Amino acid sequence: MSVQDQIILNVELLRNPSKDTRKRAAENLAGLGSKSVLSLIPLLDDKDWIVRYRAAEALGMIADERSISPLLAGIRDEKDHVRYMSAKSLGEFGIPEVGIALIPLLRDENDYVRRITALSIKKSGSPTAIEEIRKALSQEKDPAVAEKFREILSE
């Protein structure tokens, strides 16, 4: 099976009813590396949030710079799962400017989004963004999130 055929098959499998199948499809696409990027990016605008989530996941595993801007759009998605995975994936790039762009998610309504955002900011290496974690910690009401912020800041 050609690489293009593998991409087409796995993109289709991202819509499978089975969570495990969708996860394997995302991993397979990531395994194909940068060859999958141009097929994954349009999926970040799919009407199905699960497809957007898995596309963001695969793009993070690939960490091809062509996906940074589309993933940044994903941090404003209406679905918290997509914001979470977009933030997590952006952390894989280790770019300070990405850390700056993630700062607003430190105040996201979803605690999982706030936690993964802090970790991604730490990975970005942006001193300014890391200082924003300190500020967010002083206002954080969820004890689990506050603990994660403290853990990240102490690393």
CATH number of 13's domain:
1.25.10.10
Quote the pLDDT of residue 41.
Answer: 98
Tell me, yes or no, whether 100 and 88 share the same domain: no
Tell me, yes or no, whether 72 and 6 share the same domain: yes
Q: What is the pLDDT of residues 7-31, one digit of tens each?
A: 999 999 999 999 999 999 999 999 9
Quote the pLDDT of residue 28.
Answer: 97
Tell me, yes or no, whether 60 and 13 share the same domain: yes
Domain boundaries, position 101: 96-155
- Is residue 138 scored above 90 in pLDDT? yes
Tell me, yes or no, whether 87 and 151 share the same domain: no
pLDDT band at residue 155 under the 50/70/90 scheme: confident
**Dihedral of CA 35/49/14/110: which sign?**
positive
Quote the pLDDT of residue 1.
Answer: 87
Distance CA(122)–CA(149), nearest Å, equals 10
CATH of the domain at 127: 1.25.10
Tell me, yes or no, whether 27 and 83 share the same domain: yes
Report the domain count for the chain.
Answer: 2
Tell me, yes or no, whether 134 and 88 share the same domain: no
Q: What is the pLDDT of residues 79-132, one digit of tens each?
A: 999 999 999 999 999 999 999 999 999 999 999 999 999 999 999 999 999 999
- Is residue 61 scored above 90 in pLDDT? yes
Query: What is the mean predicted confidence (pLDDT) over 129-149?
Result: 96
Q: Whole-model pTM?
A: 0.94
